[in-house]
Amino acid sequence: MTNSSGAAPRRGRPSREAVYQRFSSAIAELANYGGLPKPYEARKLWDDLWALEAHHSTAIEGNTLVLREVERLLYEGRAVGSKELKDYMEVLGYSEAARWVYQQAVEPTEWAHDRLVTLTEVRRIHALAMAKVWDVAPHPDAYDSEGPGSFRQHEIAEFSGGMKPPTHPLIPAEIDSWIDQANALGSSIAAGQMDVANVPEALAGLHRDFERIHPFIDGNGRTGRLLLNLVLVRLGWPPAVILKEQRRRYLVALDKADHGDLSPLAEIICRAVIDNLHRLIPNIAGPAKYVPLEALADDEFSLVALKQAATRGRLEAVLGPDGRYRSSRAAVEDYKASKYTRRRQSP
């Protein structure tokens, strides 16, 4: 069997088609539980996602703050460590933009299906993400008219992989076309005209096309990832947090997408959304509801450990028609308690 790029999947790793189907199943499962959790249901989880995204998305661009420093900065307002001021300001600005994006999920504004994204919002996200760092470290070549929220008036050379942004006079028209593309995708999904399993590659194409335009003189990667998440949360799905450890894979995938192969980038986005679904689902399902084991794994009990316990009958679980075990938080807590009891009783 081959994946959509024609290469055989690595041993033990599901094909991309299988990952897309997992994405579709996870989205359907989320809908069964009533959609994304509200702030009072999962405030800590949303805050954790917020800090994770602010850390990883800025780190992809070279920010040196570690996650602990980001959390202290965002939760306590303390700049710990001895990093450059611009790194702290970059994280603060990104976090403001991400907070606004997340509010579209937990406190959604009214939007028509043909207006998933607007030009004002594209500019707003860039302005929020870049204003604080721009105050202390503006782009050295920027004109006064190229600040946060304003399109570039410079030409950008072709990137090493061959991606070539359009000349700057074309940017307004190119962005208008991109917004039309995003809104058409939203309309198609909302009307049920697109199989959810086909959505990852459509999202990958949308992200690639924004990065191709490169409408701003700086901050295009951060803004592009924030816009991707705006689309996701307005569709009622979790954001995609691309990890800094995936930086090389992500950049290679963007390059492949620019050359017509969307599948590597689609898989990265797909897996990132699924990971966050697994973080959120237990909080909306309640302790007694059965959810995929992936959503119940933690630092104490990995997915492999839970699968072994389910297979051996030690964890109350059911094997679904999709070949995946499901259990509940309550059942996992019972299993943990029984395991600790057995340990204490061992000679």
Domain assignments of the chain as residue spans, ordered by start:
34-285, 290-339
220 is in an annotated binding site: yes
Tens digit of each residue's pLDDT (9 = 90 or more) over 264-287 = 999 999 999 999 988 887 777 777
pLDDT score of 101: 94
147 is in an annotated binding site: no
Query: Is residue 214 among the annotated active site residues?
Result: yes
Tens digit of each residue's pLDDT (9 = 90 or more) over 201-225 = 999 999 999 999 999 999 999 999 9
pLDDT score of 108: 53
Place 114 in a pLDDT band, splitting at 50, 70 and 90.
low
Residue 334 or residue 147, greater confidence: 147
2 is in an annotated binding site: no
Most confident by average pLDDT, 16-20, 24-28, 254-258: 254-258
**Closest to 120 (Cα-Cα) out of 80, 154, 150:** 150
Cβ contacts of residue 40 below 8 Å, gap of 6+?
none
Place 3 in a pLDDT band, splitting at 50, 70 and 90.
very low
Place 152 in a pLDDT band, splitting at 50, 70 and 90.
very high
Side chain identity at residue 244, one-letter code: K
pLDDT score of 123: 98
pTM of the shown model: 0.84
Q: Taking a C-beta distance cutoff of 8 angstroms, is the pair 102, 233 a contact?
A: yes
221 is in an annotated binding site: yes
CATH architecture classification, 34-285:
Orthogonal Bundle (1.10)
Instruction: Name the phi and psi angles at 328, rounded to 5.
Output: -125, 160
Among the options 126, 214, 259, 278, which is catalytic?
214
Region 42-55 average pLDDT: 89
pLDDT > 70 fraction of the chain, expressed in percent and rounded: 89
Q: Is residue 121's pLDDT more than 90? A: yes
